Chains A and B, each alone.
Chain A
Amino acid sequence: MTDEDLSGFPLALEGPDVPMVSFRKVSKRYGELVVLDALDLDVAEGEMVTIIGPSGSGKTTVLRMLMTLETINGGVIYVDGKPLTHMPQNGRLVRANARHLRRMRSNIGMCFQHFNLFPHMTALENCMEGPVHVLGMPKKDARARAEELLEMVGMADKRNQHPSRLSGGQQQRVAIARALAMRPKVMLFDEVTSALDPEVIGEVTNVIRQLVAKHNLTMLMVTHQMGFAKDISDRICFFFGGRIEEQGTPEDLFGNPQKERTQQFLSAVKEAA
């Protein structure tokens, strides 16, 4: 990876309107398979962007790369103006080392399709683990913050339960509280309702609605819940074949899609619903 030419990428983004998240010509390949093809995507501070598209279009990869769960093969990702996947060294960008990744990761929180709560910890302990052991908060403060967040997601009464005693919807709400306890600037929601029974999807989407309404978080979401995406997103990106095929406000994209593939996808989704 030493031969990549990054001379066209700035060491940092500057100016009045620096996006919170910026993908610049980001590529991802698994062997021959191109998952993302020179993706450009900016997300402004406080913006809620939803990514939709058929499976295999690279939606989830976008979130996973931002969370540094995947490396990238080309381009640079910036978070809050600073490079995430790379770091400046002697006036040029080089691959980020573990220390840089750790520093940059503190800006980002993520919720997963399968919740991934720590099963040997109670709901409260799940929410305190990061603040105590990563942020170095005193236990008392971490507990207060965790209780406040569990209250917000409606899980205060279950704070001492282990995940195995909670329903999927409850676990996902705890997972949201756990991610928020780290005070990220950017929240990522990766198909957070896909593994849930239909009757509990609402309790999770309501928490996210509340976040959008009351907090100035920057959010990226991958979902198959089109109605939900339409309601709460500032912008919808339709992914196809590792590129953004079409993007726009929910009204435009759902109401008046321009591209044929978008139209096909939306009508297929509508028929299935």
Chain B
Amino acid sequence: MFDWRWDFTIEILPRLIVATGNTLLAAGLGYAIAVVLGLVFALAQRTPSRALTFVVREAIEFIRSTPLVLQIFFVFYVGPQFGLRLSPWTAGMIAIGLHYASYLSEVYRGGLDSVPKGQWEAATSLNLSTARTYFRVVIPQALPPSLAGMGNYLVGIFKDTPMLSVIGVAELMHTATAIGSETYRFLEPYTLVGLIFLAISLPTAAGIRVFERWVRRKLGLS
């Protein structure tokens, strides 16, 4: 029954390692989009414009309340009907980036709200502009309390990249499935995929905790 073939395992390993590169690239790119866009979403909810706040708030709620895989399908298959013809990679990055931006904006919101009002008042008393107050005073202080949540979503986006396989992005899951359908052997490829995810997720989570402490120390906050 349990028939693990080492020679086959070694044979498919190079293909899976290449695919791991794609998975990391997808997670990295998607996360980079999410980190920046999430901040835009968070800041957009803090402008004096109530209309803007409302629109962004509802958009975030909508994205957070619908499945990622649907959003990926939507961008890739429905996009062309609106003249948006995107490659699987581009569509995937937009979908996953937007999805995680919505989650990260909530993390930032908590962080930004945690900065005491007195910091804003001090910045006003020194006549700092709103933009400078955000970038020099508020965001550096909002960062440490946001890092834990940001780290969780970094691991989260990494684990969600297999969803991109549904539109044909050649990441780990997609490659393992391809190997399976070529060779009719699924045990080794899928087991390897699981081990690769584990081998990357666990040290990343630990690394994030170290990084969090380092940032706090660097900013003189502890």
Contacts and interface: CB of A to CB of B under 8 A. Distances in A.
B125 A67 contact: yes
Interface string A116-148: 111111100000011001100000000000000
Interface residues on B, range: 20 to 34
B110 interface: no
Interface string B112-152: 00001011011011111100100011001100000000000
A114 B117 CA distance: 11
Given A116-B119, A119-B141, A133 B128 contact: yes
Nearest to A163: B220
B219 A120 contact: yes
Interface residues on A, range: 20 to 34
A182 B127 contact: yes
B221 interface: yes
B127 A102 contact: yes
Nearest to B140: A120
Contacts of A117: 122
Given A118-B119, A164-B220, A164-B222, A110 B125 contact: yes
Contacts, number: 71
B121 A118 contact: no
B221 A164 contact: yes
A108 B126 CA distance: 9
A33 interface: no
Contact of A105 (B122, B127, B140): B127
A58 interface: no
Contact of A120 (B126, B128, B132, B220): B220
Interface of A: 67-69, 102, 105-106, 108-110, 112, 114, 116-122, 129-130, 133-134, 162-165, 175, 178-179, 182
Across the A-B interface, the 10 shortest Cβ-Cβ residue pairs = A162-B220, A116-B122, A130-B126, A116-B118, A120-B219, A110-B125, A120-B140, A105-B127, A134-B127, A69-B121
Given A120-B140, A163-B220, A164-B221, 13 more contacts: A67-B124, A102-B129, A105-B124, A106-B127, A116-B122, A118-B119, A120-B141, A120-B220, A134-B127, A134-B128, A164-B220, A182-B126, A182-B127
